[in-house]
């Protein structure tokens, strides 16, 4: 097993992987030999990203264009990705700014995608990951110092991840919250996240 194929027998669902940190995570997983399900809302960006990874690696890549703020879409995606032992929720960042600068719609949109989509996909994938006996979920929060909405979302995701992890450990599954460093670029943050995943499967 070389440094580039430590996850050859694994498959990951990376939600929010058409651009940014989610795409960087998908690329880093592919570099370790991990097959991919890539999910995102923009079909053009998603198809381009999936094609780029497929052309540059030997892994299998499937693109799923879907809006995961809908619980129905999350359930459908989970059925399509039932071969995954890894779930990474890397949805777009929350609205930034002080409380007086944010409208109700800003809060609602931030929570719908960053929180509710994460919770829905975790719930839908939980049984599938439990069947593997060694699955892992990484829920990506917002970087530090990006505003009150981001801080509130982080607190929610952290608590949800910790409580779900308590349940998941009985089935050999880990659920972890990860907050990206604002001092690192997407590739560096992605490499840190993949190291966590590698450590899980090595233990």
Domains annotated on the chain, with CATH: 11-202 (3.40.50.720)
Q: Which of 69, 43, 49, 71 is nearest to 61 (CA)?
A: 49
Residue pointed to by tokens 């944010």? 102
Q: How distant, in Å, are the alpha carbons of 8, 47, 50 from that of 54?
A: 14, 10, 6
Q: What is the pLDDT of residue 81?
A: 97
Mean pLDDT, consecutive 10-residue segments, the chain of 203 residues? 73 97 98 98 96 97 96 96 97 83 90 94 91 91 85 96 95 95 95 96 84
Tell me, what's the pLDDT at 44?
A: 96
pLDDT of residue 179: 95
171-to-96, 128, 132, 166, 193 alpha-carbon distances in Å: 37, 11, 9, 10, 22
Q: Which pLDDT belongs to residue 98?
A: 85
Compute the half-sphere exposure of residue 84: CA atoms within 13 Å on the CB side of its CA.
28
């Amino acid at each position: 097993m070389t440094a580039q194929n430590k996850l050859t027998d694994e498959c990951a669902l990376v939600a929010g992987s058409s651009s940014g940190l989610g795409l960087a995570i998908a690329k880093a997983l592919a570099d370790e030999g991990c097959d991919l399900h890539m999910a995102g809302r923009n079909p053009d960006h998603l198809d381009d990203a999936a094609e780029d990874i497929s052309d540059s690696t030997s892994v299998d890549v499937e693109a799923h264009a879907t809006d995961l703020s809908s619980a129905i879409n999350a359930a459908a995606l989970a059925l399509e990705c039932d071969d995954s032992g890894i779930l990474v929720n890397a949805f777009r960042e929350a609205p930034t700014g002080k409380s007086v600068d944010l409208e109700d719609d800003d809060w609602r949109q931030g929570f719908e995608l960053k929180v509710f989509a994460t919770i829905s996909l975790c719930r839908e994938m939980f049984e599938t990951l439990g069947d593997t006996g060694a699955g892992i979920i990484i829920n990506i929060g917002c970087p530090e110092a990006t505003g009150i909405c981001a801080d509130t979302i982080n607190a929610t995701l952290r608590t949800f991840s910790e409580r779900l992890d308590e349940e998941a450990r009985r089935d050999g599954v880990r659920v972890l919250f990860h907050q990206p460093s604002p001092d690192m670029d997407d590739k560096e943050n992605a490499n840190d996240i993949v190291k966590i995943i590698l450590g899980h499967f090595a233990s």
